[in-house]
């Protein structure tokens, strides 16, 4: 223990409930902190004041950096991430066809246009509904471990930072109304009863088949 740093003693004294016998100050019980009374020399008092100021500054700065980091996970940033990460391209009906000109009130409600390929036919779900069933922590875990069928770029979601995922959650979570569920997955060989985009069944090993079999792992 650094015996020359009085500030440290304040903390360790509170933690252990006692202070070293030669301590230059007295603390009136746990509840009275920070009412610390000095019984030291004027020189010791100056040093004690310095240590207390440093301690307060240290505490304030770590609180403010905590606040900064929780502010970074914000609704606005979530909106920005959803926008530039392309989530609307599939999860918002008509988004691509309109050149991205769909109001936010319609964002991420899912789409009835299917994506048909060797995997069957998938539908981009209504993310407002998907997230409504999850807490923020559950969403982060879910997104980090998601592995789904094409063309969902789940590997991009896996790679997002916790803060970015929290921001996306906060943005989606405040979108209202929740809307209706997208159609459910249709297995291969079954004709979907919705419009769909058809991916050609390419010969194995060809470029476009490769796109959907590597799960984003394109390192050679
Ligand atoms: C190219 C189209 C496409 C893009 C772009 C896309 N998704 Fe998806 N997403 C899908 C499809 C299709 C599914 C359903 C996959 C399945 O059925 O296995 C899906 C599924 C999901 C799921 C699982 C939901 C559930 O309830 O199981 C989440 C979460 C998700 N997407 C989030 C996102 C986010 C966030 C983005 C933007 C970063 C995004 N997606 C971008 C097409 C897309």
Would you put residue 18 in left (φ > 0), alpha (ψ -120 to 50) or beta? beta
CA angle 77, 153, 178 (to 5 degrees): 55
Ligand 1 geometric centre to CA of 89 (Å) = 10
pLDDT attached to residue 72: 76
| Four-CA torsion 74, 108, 127, 175, nearest 10 degrees | 50
Residue 115 Cα: closest atom of ligand 1: 12
Q: Which pLDDT does position 73 carry in this prediction?
A: 85
- Does the pTM surpass 0.75? The reply is no
CA–CA distance, 73 with 96 (Å, rounded to integer): 27
CA angle 40, 44, 50 (to 5 degrees): 130
Residue 25, classed as helix, strand or coil, is strand
Q: What pLDDT sits at residue 203?
A: 58
The pLDDT assigned to 24 comes to 41
| pLDDT by position in tens, the chain (length 220) | 443 433 333 333 334 444 444 444 444 344 444 444 445 556 655 564 455 455 445 554 555 555 555 567 899 999 999 999 999 999 999 999 999 999 999 999 999 999 999 999 999 999 999 999 999 999 999 999 999 999 999 999 999 999 999 999 999 999 999 999 999 999 999 999 999 999 986 655 444 444 555 555 555 4
C-beta 117 within 6 A of ligand 1: no
pLDDT computed for residue 152 by the predictor: 98
Q: Residue 166's pLDDT is what?
A: 98
Q: Which residues pair with 25 in a beta bridge?
A: 38
Yes or no: say if 3 and 51 are a contact pair by the CB < 8 Å rule.
Answer: no
Characterize the bridge pairing of strands 25-27 and 36-38: antiparallel
Query: Is the C-beta atom of 126 inside 6 A of ligand 1?
Result: no
Helix (H, G, I), strand (E, B) or coil at 148: coil
Residue minimizing CA distance to atom 9 of ligand 1: 152
pLDDT at position 12 is: 36
Q: What gap in Å lies between CA 126 and CA 102, rounded to an integer?
A: 15
Helices 162-173/42-72 angle, 10° precision: 60
Instruction: State in Å: Cα 183 to ligand 1 middle.
Output: 13
Q: Tell me if 37 sits within 8 A of 51, measured CB to CB.
A: no
107: helix, coil or strand? Answer: coil
């Amino acid at each position: 223990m650094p015996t020359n740093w009085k500030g440290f003693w304040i903390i360790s004294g509170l933690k252990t409930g006692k202070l070293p016998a030669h301590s230059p100050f007295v603390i009136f019980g746990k509840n009275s902190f920070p009412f610390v009374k000095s019984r030291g020399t004027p020189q010791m008092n100056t040093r004690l004041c310095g240590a207390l100021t440093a301690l307060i500054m240290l505490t304030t700065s770590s609180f403010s950096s905590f606040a900064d980091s929780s502010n970074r996970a914000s609704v606005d940033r979530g909106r920005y991430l959803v926008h530039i990460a392309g989530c609307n391209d599939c999860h918002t009906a008509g988004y691509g066809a309109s050149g991205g000109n769909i109001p936010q009130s319609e964002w991420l409600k899912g789409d009835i246009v299917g994506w048909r390929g060797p995997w069957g036919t998938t539908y981009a779900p209504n993310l407002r509904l998907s997230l409504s069933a999850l807490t923020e922590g559950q969403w982060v875990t879910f997104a980090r471990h998601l592995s789904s069928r094409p063309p969902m770029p789940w590997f991009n979601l896996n790679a997002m930072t916790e803060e970015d995922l929290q921001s996306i959650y906060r943005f989606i979570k405040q979108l209202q109304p929740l809307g209706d569920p997208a159609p459910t997955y249709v297995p291969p060989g079954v004709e979907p009863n919705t419009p769909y985009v058809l991916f050609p069944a390419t010969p194995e090993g060809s470029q476009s088949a490769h796109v959907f079999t590597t799960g984003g792992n394109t390192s050679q």
